[in-house]
Chain A
Amino acid sequence: MAHRSQEILCKMIEYTEKFDATGLNCPLPILRSKKVLTGMNSGEILYVISTDSGSVKDFDAFCKQTGNELLESSEAEGKYHYYIKKV
């Protein structure tokens, strides 16, 4: 069920760039995502996959502080999925 909802989610949000942060620990998911975002244009969407459970609160905090919009934050099968719209 979780897997299905993830697939539905992936279809729902179209992204410009994808960054797989699987296996990376704090603060690398944020730092590397920020790096990818820097090379993107305003309004484009970055899709990040992470296995770091601390990243849930961190991506929320990152977006609040940087003004980027966290469109979606969800968990499925031990992986965390984030869709960030660049400000």
Chain B
Amino acid sequence: MSAKKLALIATKGTLDWAYPPFILASTAAALGYETQIFFTFYGLQLLKKDLNLKVSPLGNPAMPMPMGMDKWFPTLGTAIPGMESIMSGMMKSKMKSKGVASVAELREMCLESDVKMIACQMTVDLFDMKPDDFIDGIDYAGASTFFEFAGESDVNLFI
């Protein structure tokens, strides 16, 4: 029996959206899936050596906030300078206290279990990003390369 295959496209680079691709990819790998993630646009932030991911309460009415702030705190207030860093810090410490893995840890587990990661070359060029900023062991390619694997995958998800 040949291994099942999972192909993911990661398009978002915030702390909250970093979790789905890395959780799914690491778990799929543990289940024996051959797995690839194609990182494009803001998803490329997830491949940076220095992961400084943030979550923003601005424009996100579904985000639970401390002291029920999501219910009474004015939306405009979430635009106050420093809010993003404060909320991101709170989210990270909450995750740690609940035994949720860090993004870096999940990414490391993906790499250990041979999840193939591909950075979208076009986006790298578009944003003038430097390969030096990214972790080692990743490939740089385009959509055709993604389809080479995705075309014969059992599960394809756009995140």
User: Interface of A with B (CB < 8 Å)?
Assistant: 23-28, 30-31, 34, 51-52, 62, 65-66
Which chain A residues lie closer than 8 Å to B101 at the CB level? 24-25, 27-28
Q: Tell me whether B67 is interfacial, beta carbon within 8 Å.
A: no
Q: Mark B98-111, 1 if CB is under 8 A from A, else 0.
A: 11110000100100
CB of B31 within 8 A of CB of A66, answer yes
Digit string of B79-102 for contact with A (CB within 8 Å is 1, else 0)? 000000000000000000011110
A37 CA to B130 CA, complexed, in Å: 38
Select A66's contact among B23, B32, B100, B106, beta carbons within 8 Å: B32
Residue total for B at the interface (Cβ-Cβ under 8 A): 12
Q: Could you name 21 residue pairs across A and B whose Cβ atoms are closer than 8 Å?
A: A24-B99, A24-B101, A25-B99, A25-B100, A25-B101, A26-B100, A27-B27, A27-B30, A27-B101, A28-B99, A28-B100, A30-B27, A31-B26, A31-B27, A31-B30, A31-B109, A34-B30, A62-B30, A62-B31, A65-B31, A66-B32
Instruction: Give chain B nearest CB distance to A77 CB in angstroms.
Output: 18
Q: How far is the CB of B62 from chain A (nearest CB, A)?
A: 20
For A34, what are the chain B residues with a Cβ–Cβ distance below 8 Å?
30
Closest Cβ–Cβ distance, residue A84 to chain B (whole Å):
13
Those of B6-59 within 8 Å (CB) of chain A: 23, 26-27, 30-32
Q: Could you tell me the distance between the alpha carbons of A62 and B27 in the complex, rounded to whole angstroms?
A: 9
**Assembly CA distance A51 to B23 (angstroms):** 19
Give every chain A residue within 8 A of B109 (Cβ-Cβ): 31
> Apart from A26-B23, A31-B26, what 17 extra A-B contacts exist at CB < 8 Å?
A24-B99, A25-B99, A25-B100, A27-B27, A27-B30, A27-B101, A28-B101, A30-B27, A31-B30, A31-B109, A34-B30, A62-B30, A62-B31, A65-B31, A65-B32, A66-B30, A66-B31
B30: chain A residues within 8 A (beta carbon):
27, 30-31, 34, 62, 66
- Given known pairs A31-B26, A31-B109, the reply for A23 and B31 (CB within 8 Å) is no
In the complex, what residue of chain A is closest to B98 when comparing beta carbons? A25
Q: Which of A26, A34, A51, A52 has the most CB of B within 10 A?
A: A34
